[in-house]
Structure 1
Amino acid sequence: MSDIADFLFQTLREAARSEVLPRFRRLAQGDVREKTSAIDLVTEADEAAERFIQAACARSQPAAVFVGEEGVAADPGLLTRIRHAEMAIVVDPIDGTANFAAGAPMFGMMAAVVRGNETVAGVIYDPLGDDAMIAERGAGAFLVRPDGERERLRVASAQPLTDSIAVASTSYLPLPQRRDVLTRMAELRILANYRTAAQEYRLMASGHIHFQFYLKLMPWDHLAGTLLVEEAGGYVRRLDGGRYLPSDVAGGLLTAPDAESWAAMRALLGPNIA
């Protein structure tokens, strides 16, 4: 594990112990607020954890551009800096905030390193399990257990669509398209949504699901996870078939075990999804 990957792992771990876990199932009235809708929430834990992580990054990597989900909510212009930054650190302090706020044990913390508009390292940390999935471009993807033991990750082998498990986020589709897509995806064995990309990417990278489908492409939600999937042997593309890049904020995203199964799933979704 490189120094930067280990630094991000340890920083997320420290932020979880200091700012996240002490607030889990202990949020006071007023500690949870809506951002854009009733399903888009922010808590005191999100904001405190991001401040903690940003301060640590400023000390360790002062030249890096820091892009956090809550920081972009206050200053949307930060997003445009990822494309041209020599080095950017992109962070989601709590992914699955709605679950966290509800006291549901299904959330995670994510960080990615971008150089030259390419993700080169990613970490998805599970505060409750105290372990992380870590990927570095060209070096593979690993589960790192609390004692430091490492286990190489591999995506699942391809299966017929009727035997496949997928997670999908369809809430951003207009209702007629959502009905169409969900009807089409009824062909799959299981279709789920855990309301946390962090845990969905962990499931994908460790071989427990076959597909992921997303429309909204905020970088903190997908950079670490897509690198994990690719380094675990999976196939990741935007819906138009192009490579997913850190600067992409539109175009949808589909992950699969390989290119052939990606194409089969893309065809299943239908031509009205773009």
Structure 2
Amino acid sequence: MNRYPDPSAVMGIMRETANSVILPRYRSLQRGEIQEKTGPDDLVTIADIESERRMTPLLQDLLPGSLVVGEEAVSADKLILNALTGDAPVWIVDPVDGTRNFARGDSKFCVMVSLVHRRQSVLGLILDPLGERCAVAVRGEGAWMCHYTGREERLSVLAGRPSTEMRGALNFRFMPSPLKEEMKERAKDAVEEHFRYGCAGHEYLTLLTGKAHFAMYPKNMPWDHVAGTLLHQEAGGFHARFNKMPYLPDQLDGGLLIAPDEAAWDDLRDRLWP
């Protein structure tokens, strides 16, 4: 990892951006500072735009020759996604994950940054600015929670157990009917409890801090999942696409199922899917 930036430097950029750009807008957004992208459930705020704009050159300065794939930049030009299959290292940025929550004053929002090189995630961070903590993972070096106080703790996922005894996040939003309706019915008996926060980053944090066992997502936008899947893997967990093939950062479909271990993954897959 010596050729990649120190994760503490990345965390510093994220913290400074959150403090100067995002938090001053929390519960203070003005008329005209919230816009729809593809519809009323897909929003962008001035905090999203300005924080991505601020972090982009700072991250590139940390790693000369690197590129940036930011959620808002891709919204304007989808060809930027092609960088994920090239040879240059690529930063993936979600400037405000959980924008709908942020826009309505809900506390479940975060900032996510990851680094990918040759289709492999090597660094992942999820910053919870209100919780004053940042989950950090370096490939092969484990996952850690770094608190603003300076305290650090190693992260590990909950142990696997039968699906009917597991709690986790289920997102059915992009599933086609009638599969969506059937899986919702199956979930009532398949798992003990399921929830949805509307913020993938906070859902990953529940997995990393022992508050939930699993998560499922039908759509694999890289800014939503590259940081979280690396963190979860480094904390001892198992994830794969719905067909159990490995997940790569440039794959936008095929879904993601995340579980404590492979046996728990198989149990969830068998019980949730028709």
Cα drift, residue 144 of structure 1: 0.4
Cα drift, residue 86 of structure 1: 2.4
Cα drift, residue 122 of structure 1: 0.2
3-state DSSP class of the match of 2:174? coil
1:117 aligns with 2:119: yes
Deviates more, 1:225-234 or 1:151-160: 151-160
Question: Contact conserved, 1:99 with 1:107, CA < 8 A, in 2?
Answer: yes
How many percent of aligned residue pairs carry the same amino acid? 38
Question: Which of these residues, 226, 230, 239, is aligned with residue 229 of structure 2?
Answer: 226
Measured in 2, the distance between the counterparts of 1:87 and 1:161 equals 38
Question: Which of these residues, 166, 171, 174, is aligned with residue 164 of structure 1?
Answer: 166
Measured in 2, the distance between the counterparts of 1:49 and 1:61 equals 19
Question: Contact conserved, 1:65 with 1:85, CA < 8 A, in 2?
Answer: no
Alignment of 1:176-255 (within 5 A): 176-187=178-189, 188-255=191-258
Aligned twin of 1:30: 32
Alignment of 1:1-274 (within 5 A): 3-187=5-189, 188-271=191-274
3-state DSSP class of the match of 1:134? strand
Provide the TM-score with structure 1 as the length reference: 0.96
Question: Contact conserved, 2:162 with 2:267, CA < 8 A, in 1?
Answer: no
Provide the TM-score with structure 2 as the length reference: 0.96
Measured in 1, the distance between the counterparts of 2:126 and 2:97 equals 10
Measured in 2, the distance between the counterparts of 1:86 and 1:49 equals 23
Note the alpha carbon deviations across 1:121-141, whole angstroms, 9 max, x for none. 100000101210000111000
Note the alpha carbon deviations across 1:73-106, whole angstroms, 9 max, x for none. 1110011111113200000000000000000000
Note the alpha carbon deviations across 1:199-240, whole angstroms, 9 max, x for none. 001111222111100011110000000001000000010111
3-state DSSP class of the match of 2:178? helix
Structure 1 unaligned regions, length at least 5: none
Measured in 2, the distance between the counterparts of 1:104 and 1:92 equals 17
Measured in 2, the distance between the counterparts of 1:3 and 1:87 equals 11
Measured in 2, the distance between the counterparts of 1:58 and 1:155 equals 32
Q: Which amino acid aligns with 2:137?
A: A
Measured in 1, the distance between the counterparts of 2:16 and 2:87 equals 26
3-state DSSP class of the match of 2:6? helix
Question: Contact conserved, 1:237 with 1:255, CA < 8 A, in 2?
Answer: yes
**What's the C-alpha RMSD, in Å, of the aligned pairs?**
1.3
Measured in 2, the distance between the counterparts of 1:243 and 1:208 equals 25
Note the alpha carbon deviations across 1:160-196, whole angstroms, 9 max, x for none. 2221101011111224222111111112111100000
Q: Which amino acid aligns with 1:198?
A: G
Question: Contact conserved, 2:5 with 2:62, CA < 8 A, in 1?
Answer: no
Cα drift, residue 58 of structure 1: 3.0
Question: Contact conserved, 2:5 with 2:63, CA < 8 A, in 1?
Answer: no
Number of residue pairs matched by the alignment: 271
Cα drift, residue 153 of structure 1: 0.3
Measured in 2, the distance between the counterparts of 1:134 and 1:95 equals 16
